[in-house]
């Protein structure tokens, strides 16, 4: 599908936004963990697998949301809020399910989900998804061009 206003194609915009989300979220979570001195998922007995599965689900949730919404004729910037909510819900639900699958008792799995949901880490993850969603919409809606110097068209020189 062609972009509505001469912007970037929706699939490419979604791909760039998802890659940007991954980089921004990993950096933000790492810096917040370093500054606060706490783990992103701080529950004893929880292996790294649920956290990795939850982050992968967040990426997939964001990608699915952007792929479904950017193809509309004139996508709204409200997609950023939808992307943040879907990304957080995908992360939290997968974190709980994956924790139970790896053998953690349900109470600890629920504790991991609850602790993440009310932490600054959730704000960083949701904010990163919102930035990625807004960026994807901007890439599709705008007619931005690369920089162009006046002398680049001069064929006489």
Residue 6 — very low, low, confident or very high, per pLDDT cuts 50/70/90? low
Q: Give the C-alpha separation, 31 to 112, whole Å.
A: 20
Residue 103 phi/psi, 5-degree rounding, is 105, 10
Statement: residue 5 has pLDDT above 60: no
| Residue 58 half-sphere exposure toward CB, CA atoms < 13 A | 30
Tokens of 79: 């997609």
Q: Give the C-alpha separation, 11 to 118, whole Å.
A: 33
Residue 3 — very low, low, confident or very high, per pLDDT cuts 50/70/90? very low
Residue 143 — very low, low, confident or very high, per pLDDT cuts 50/70/90? confident
Q: What is the pLDDT of residue 110?
A: 95
Angle, CA of 106, 36 and 20, to the nearest 5° = 80
CB 124 within 8 A of CB 87: no
How far, rounded to the nearest angstrom, does the alpha carbon of residue 122 sit from its chain's CA centroid? 12
CB 6 within 8 A of CB 141: no
Query: In 37-151, which residue ranges form alpha helices assigned H by DSSP?
Result: 48-69, 79-101, 106-117, 120-141
């Amino acid at each position: 599908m062609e972009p509505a206003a001469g912007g970037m194609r929706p699939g490419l915009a979604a791909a760039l936004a998802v890659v940007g989300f991954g980089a921004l979220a990993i950096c933000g979570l790492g810096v917040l963990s370093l500054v606060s001195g706490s783990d992103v998922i701080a529950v004893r007995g929880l292996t790294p697998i649920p956290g990795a599965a939850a982050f992968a689900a967040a990426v997939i949730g964001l990608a699915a949301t952007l792929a479904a919404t950017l193809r509309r004729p004139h996508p709204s910037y409200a997609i950023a809020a939808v992307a943040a909510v879907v990304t957080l819900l995908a992360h939290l639900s997968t974190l709980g399910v994956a924790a139970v699958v790896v053998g953690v008792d349900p109470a600890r799995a629920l504790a991991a989900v609850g602790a993440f949901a009310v932490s600054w880490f959730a704000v960083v993850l949701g904010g990163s998804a919102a930035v990625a969603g807004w960026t994807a919409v901007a890439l599709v809606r705008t007619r931005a061009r690369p920089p162009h110097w006046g002398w680049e068209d001069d064929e006489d020189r």
